Structures are given as C-alpha cells and as structure tokens.
Amino acid sequence: MENTKILKLSSFVLKIIAIVSMTIDHLGVIIRSFYPEQVIFVNICRYIGRLALPLFCFMIVEGVIHSKNIKKYWLRLGIMAIVISIVLCVCQFVTSLGMQDIANQGNIFMDLFLGAITIYLLKQKDNKWLRLLIIIPIGISIASFVAKGIETASYYTVDVLWFPRFLRMQYDWLSILMMVGFYLATFFADTYFEYQSQYSGLELDQVKGTNTYRIAVNLICCMVVMFLNIIYYLFKYFTPTAVFWSPNIQIAGMAAGILLIFYNGKRGYNGKWFQYGSYLYYPIHILLLYGLIYLISLLLGGK
C-alpha cells in the first residue's frame, strides 16, 4: 500500500491559501497608497501575496483538464475579466479615489482567462490548425509586457494608448508560461514512467492514478515554479525598469512550489456557493479593503 501521508492538500485547500495570500497582498498595496512610509509592513504583505499566482495558475490548469463544460468555465473567467476591467478603468480615471496602484497592476483575470484558452488549445492534439491559435494569447501577453515596459521606463510620464492599462494582464508572460509548464508536467511524468516501464514491468496506465505518479507530477510543477521565478528575478539585471516589477518580492513565489508537492489530485469541497463566491470575492474584497483603509485614514486624520 502506498504512503498517502505526504499528500494532504486538495484543490479546495490550495485555493483557500491562494485567496488568503491574495487578500494580504492587496491589503499591502492599498495601505501603500495611503501610508507609503509603511515600507516594512507593505513588503511583508507583498511577500506573502506571492503565493497566490502559482496556486491560481495551477488551479486553472486543473480546471481546464477536468472541466466537464469548458465553455462555461471560459464564460465565468471571461465575465470576471470584463468586470475587473471596468473596476480597473474606474480606478485609473477617477483619480480622486487614489487607487492608481491597483489600476497599474493589470487584470489578473485576463491572465487566467487567456491561460485557460492556451491550455485548451494545447490539448487539441488532433487539430493542428486550432492549436496555431495559441499565438493569440501569447501575443497578447507579449503586447501587455511591452506596454508596461514602455510606461515604466518613462516613470509613467508616457501612456501607451494602443493597449489601455485596464485591458492588460497582470503577470504577462510569467503567468502564461507557468500554466503551460504545469500542463506539460504530466507529459514529462508520462515520459519518465514510460522509460521506467522497461525496468519495472509496469505499464503507464498502471502507474497513473497512484501517489507515486502524483508526487512525480507535483515535483515537476514545483520545479516549474522555481525556474520561472528565478528567471523573473534575473530580469532586474537586464532591464532598467525591473524595479517597478518588484522582482525581489516575486522570488517569494517559489514557496508556492513547495505547497504543490503536497497536492493530492483531489478537488475537495466544491459547493456552488464557494465555486461562484470565489470569483465574486476578487472585486468585493478590494472594495472592502479600500473602504476600510480609507475610513481608518479619516479617523486618524489622514487622507
């Protein structure tokens, strides 16, 4: 019997960790807008927040692979991408709100939506022409990256009008490559166990579904997180605008790779209220956090 003690985390648990991490991260971003001198506290929040991206990207890949209705899955992500774009548009142009930091970050649901499309296209092994459409989400991620680079290089004295901020991705190529890496983890695990079958006598179908196979996939996913975060970190040595991307903070995202090692491949709790509530939580928690910090600043005689 296989040892199952190491595989303790379900999709539900990983999503809760990602949501809590994201909330703490956004708390730091909003506090920075009101109290920029609170550097240490803000940085602590942002370091904790780096867990969110890899975990959300991982959940998207799992969702695309196991979704019974991919169109509904896309629809939910697409609707949220539109809703968040509207929120970011308000944050950008209603300057009296003081939420430019939020607007400048980009739309994380654009990352997740385009990532879900990318993984779906990669799955279309029998339709090479359809797979070619993968250049669209990749092209958008590159365009988003370039637009941000131009603006940050000018210290935001230049606005890239051909790609408005409220339509941009938040992590650009990093999120897309991370999701592709998670998807390919299964391919690499299959290749390894097929090679080992000539020595073990076990066919790949016999290995799939076992904890040994799950751990192998998890380890590859962990390596994907580690590798891409290191690459992102190294950008600061080659790009003068990297200071605006907080590469030193993003390196903390490597810790999410360790969490993925303990994933058991199970969905866990997935009530309808949680399924839809986790989407609505994003805009709601930002508004609540902003309202709370704004109220505190008024009480303390700030903004």
- Span 169-197, pLDDT tens digits: 999 999 999 999 999 999 899 888 887 77
Query: Which range, of 41-45, 49-53, 121-125, 255-259, averages the lowest pLDDT?
Result: 121-125
Tens-place pLDDT, residues 134-177: 999 999 999 998 888 888 777 777 788 888 877 889 999 999 99
| Top-confidence range, 37-46, 123-132, 159-168 | 37-46
Share of the chain above pLDDT 90, in %: 46
Handedness of CA 18, 19, 24, 28 (dihedral sign): positive
Average pLDDT over residues 279-298: 90
Check residue 151 and give its pLDDT.
80
86-95 average pLDDT score: 77
Query: Which neighbouring-strand residues pair with 9?
Result: 263
Length of the chain (residues): 303
Instruction: Taking residues 108-126, report their average pLDDT.
Output: 93
Pick the residue with more confidence: 287 or 161?
Answer: 287
Give the residue-averaged pLDDT of 25-54. Answer: 92
**Tokens 């669209």 belong to residue:** 136
Quote the Cα angle for 8-51-75, to 5°: 90
User: Sign of dihedral through CA atoms 161, 164, 169, 170?
Assistant: positive
DSSP character at residue 76: H
Mean pLDDT, the chain, as a whole number?
86
Which residues have C-beta within 8 Å of that of residue 217, sequence separation ≥ 6? 185, 186, 189
Amino acid code (one letter) for 144: S
Question: At 97, is the pLDDT very low, low, confident or very high (cuts 50, 70, 90)?
Answer: low
pLDDT of residue 1: 42
CB-CB contact of 29 with 35 (8 Å) = no
pTM (two decimals) = 0.90
pLDDT of residue 75: 93
pLDDT for 115: 96
* Strands annotated E in 66-150: none
| Least confident stretch, 4-8, 242-246, 259-263 | 242-246
